Structure 1
Amino acid sequence: MTSTEGDAVPHRAVIVGVIPDQPPRVLKEAARYATLFGAPLVVAHVDVTRFVTYEDPDGYVHPAAVDIDIAAGRAQLAQVREAATTVLSGTEVDWSVVQLVGDPALALKDLAARADARLIVVGTRRRGFGESVREFFTGSVAARLAHRQSRPILVVPLEDAARDDEELWPLGDEG
């Protein structure tokens, strides 16, 4: 219904973590739950190329870049905003887009605390060897959220479930 961006976080919102090129299924499920709860939806993108250096007492976050290419974070936010506009237009959900910085699990946890969120929605990782290696080193955002805060978490599969006889990490022609 509306799209805003700003520092104010709606109270008792549903929070959804979104990354560029994520299947729309995650946003659709988050919007469905926001509608069921009669709650606003906060679409959150976490820029992992920046981190929090310090936070003012009023809540303003001072970020620093890990990578000098700050435009990349802005471009990702634009992609997330465009995806949200496409998926959420025509719905009755009041929604807003925010960009957070740093570790995704901690950033979403802090946002949920500020909003006194009803629910946090995240997608699963994509299937594949590269994503498995990344998750091995960085950990699952959903699992880390589940262990670090007390709010309910909805983990939405990005793809159809793998069949029991399906190779999760196909070797391709070179293997």
Structure 2
Amino acid sequence: MTDTPHRLEQPARMSGPVLVGVVQGQRPVVVEQAAKLAAAAGLPLVCAHVDVTVYPVDGTTGGAAAPIDPDSGDADVQDIPEQLRKDLEARLSGLDVEWSAVFLAGEPAKALAREANHSGASMIVVGSRDHKLGSVIKELTGGSIARHLVHHQDRPVLVVPVDPRLPDDDDED
């Protein structure tokens, strides 16, 4: 029996934007890594903020959204929070990357997947969870956005560790 060398097909070039999920108070490393990746690939960066207090009325990205709680009084608020926008501008201003921000509504993993399909994103970038009690409880009850995306996407998903737990003792010296 002879082994036939397998030819690796040329991978398709990434042509769509890099989509990164952003939230207020997020560790800067997530946006920074997404921006570096987008810049290195010569792609635009789309920063997507998902508001879980509203849902997409027609199920589409960027369409009309309505509050889950009709008594909330914020029915017209369908934009990225001003402080988050300022943080993104400050973080990305010195980098050589074209970027934009988009407001999404609904469950975060589904909203990011819809936006990725709508924009033709080359990949989705999200941060891992912090190692805090609240994050652990959310993980147990609702699951991870990253895990959902990894299992329900046909495009690459990059998970940036935001609070890596490295062992104190390194036995490989």
TM range (shorter): 0.7 to 0.9
Match of 2:143 in 1: 139
SS of equivalent residue, structure 1 residue 16: strand
The structure having more radius of gyration, on CA atoms, is 2
Root-mean-square deviation (CA, aligned residues, Å) is 2.4
SS of equivalent residue, structure 1 residue 84: helix
**Is 1:63–2:65 an aligned residue pair?**
yes
Q: Once superposed, which parts of structure 1, at least 4 consecutive aligned residues long, lie more than 4 Å away? A: 73-76
Match of 2:44 in 1: 40
TM-score (norm 1): 0.79
Which of residues 141, 155, 172 is equivalent to 1:151?
Answer: 155
Count of residue correspondences: 153
**One-letter identity of the residue aligned with 1:50:** V
Cα distance in 1 for residues equivalent to 2:79 and 2:56:
20
Between 1 and 2, higher relative CO (CA 8 Å, sep ≥ 6) is seen in: 1
**One-letter identity of the residue aligned with 1:61:** G
Cα distance in 2 for residues equivalent to 1:153 and 1:93:
20
Aligned-pair CA distance for 1:51: 0.8
Cα distance in 2 for residues equivalent to 1:74 and 1:64:
9
The change in CA–CA distance for 1:131 and 1:69 in structure 2 (over 3 A counts) is: farther
CA contact (8 A) 1:77 1:99 kept: no
Match of 1:173 in 2: none
Aligned-pair CA distance for 1:164: 7.0
The change in CA–CA distance for 1:133 and 1:69 in structure 2 (over 3 A counts) is: farther
Aligned-pair CA distance for 1:118: 1.0
CA contact (8 A) 2:125 2:157 kept: yes
Question: Cα deviations across residues 46-80 of structure 1 (Å, max 9, x unaligned)?
Answer: 00010122157xx6522110241538x66862222
Aligned-pair CA distance for 1:95: 0.2
TM-score (norm 2): 0.80
Question: Cα deviations across residues 91-142 of structure 1 (Å, max 9, x unaligned)?
Answer: 1100001110001001100111111111110001111111111121111001
Match of 1:99 in 2: 103
Mapping of residues 102-141 of structure 1, within 5 Å: 102-141=106-145
CA contact (8 A) 2:46 2:100 kept: yes
Match of 1:169 in 2: none
Bigger Cα displacement from structure 2, 122-131 vs 75-84: 75-84
Which of residues 19, 32, 57 is equivalent to 1:28?
Answer: 32
The change in CA–CA distance for 1:134 and 1:34 in structure 2 (over 3 A counts) is: same
* Greater share of strand: 1
Match of 1:4 in 2: none
SS of equivalent residue, structure 1 residue 54: coil
Structure 2: runs of 5 or more not aligned: 1-14
**One-letter identity of the residue aligned with 1:65:** P
